Chain A
Amino acid sequence: MKYLVKKIITLIMTLFLVSVLAFLAFQIIPGDVVTSILGTEATPEREEALRKELGLDLPPVVRYFSWAGNVLKGDFGNSYRFSKNMNQMMPVAELIGDKLPVTLLLAAISMVLIAVIAIPLGVFWARSKNRFLDAVLSMGTQTAMAVPSFFLGVLVTYLFGILLKWFSPGGYVSYKEDFWGCISYLLFPAISVAIPKIAMTARFLRNSMLTENGADYVRTAYSKGASERRVAYFHVLRNAMMPVVTFLGMIIAEIVAGSIVVEQVFGLPGIGKLLISSISTRDFPVVEILILYITFVVIFVYFLVDVLYRVIDPRISNK
């Protein structure tokens, strides 16, 4: 319990620090927001008025707290680039709102693929005594890790989209219209995100299991008459999974980042695509919130992994 409280306090401190950094980073950007909205030919009075309206005349500390307060209330400010109509600015929250589920769905499907394929593959690999198979898996995973996710996306598009015609590239259907249609489209980008991670996780699990194989408890299990199969699944796997859990936590962070690129390949209207286009058009309020959001996800996942680790392995919390 004491541990959990300590962890939560660290979590909050980190989130605070990150938000300060995100805020500061976008304060030092060269170029003036007011000029970029009004253009260079606006009168000084108009510029002054807009500056007041946007709250830019206040000191940075005040602005940080009003910004952070608004973010906590769910008010993320307005996009510079998009507007609802002539007189109404586009709130960032609305802009992100319908893009977030796409990215989260993609990440979730990828994660399921990784867990479902990599763990059995790793166990199978660790148990296999066939040297040829070992060489093939070793070479295959090494190659899979060298393929960047965006190229994998292009390959998947070519193979499944153009040659086999299992899906129509660029024909994304919104999850609001057709949920299962959307899932079946997302399966292909998810495959592109998952393949290198599957290779990494399988390698990692295999090595972890081979290390565990030399442990005393394995010898004990064998001498008690447990079959090789039983030892592998009931004794070794449980212990070998410990480091893999941390590894999978890091993978989640990478999936979130990796899907930024893959969304672009498959034309998915997720936050990755929004982030890239906002960076290109220098739409800072959007970039700021997206960076903050992704960072929060990463930090939160690490927090969960840390806590989960103690739940799975009670030996750690006793120390």
Chain B
Amino acid sequence: MPVVTSGWYMTLAAILFVLGMTGVLIRRNALVMFMCVELMLNAVNLTFVAAGRAAGVLDGQVAVFFVLVVAAAEVVVGLAIIVAIFRRRETASVDELAALRG
């Protein structure tokens, strides 16, 4: 059984990050895009924890708590905006929310 090194975690994190990014880029539904952003954030969290463990320090885990808290707050605000927009426009498709184009 192969030893699980930091490299494995990093690879997994990279895959998760790219998955999330792809989702953000190709999906139109704002809710789904939000979920993809969460995926990207958690990919980064994974790198923090893995790197912290490899270095034998707790700093990485502390950083993850910060990211989780901030992400939670951000989701609250973001979802509130989406709900507000949905009430006015009957849609959650970001492509239709292009009023600020140049």
**Do A and B assemble together?**
no
Interface residues, chain B, with chain A CB atoms under 8 Å away: none
Interface residues, chain A, with chain B CB atoms under 8 Å away: none
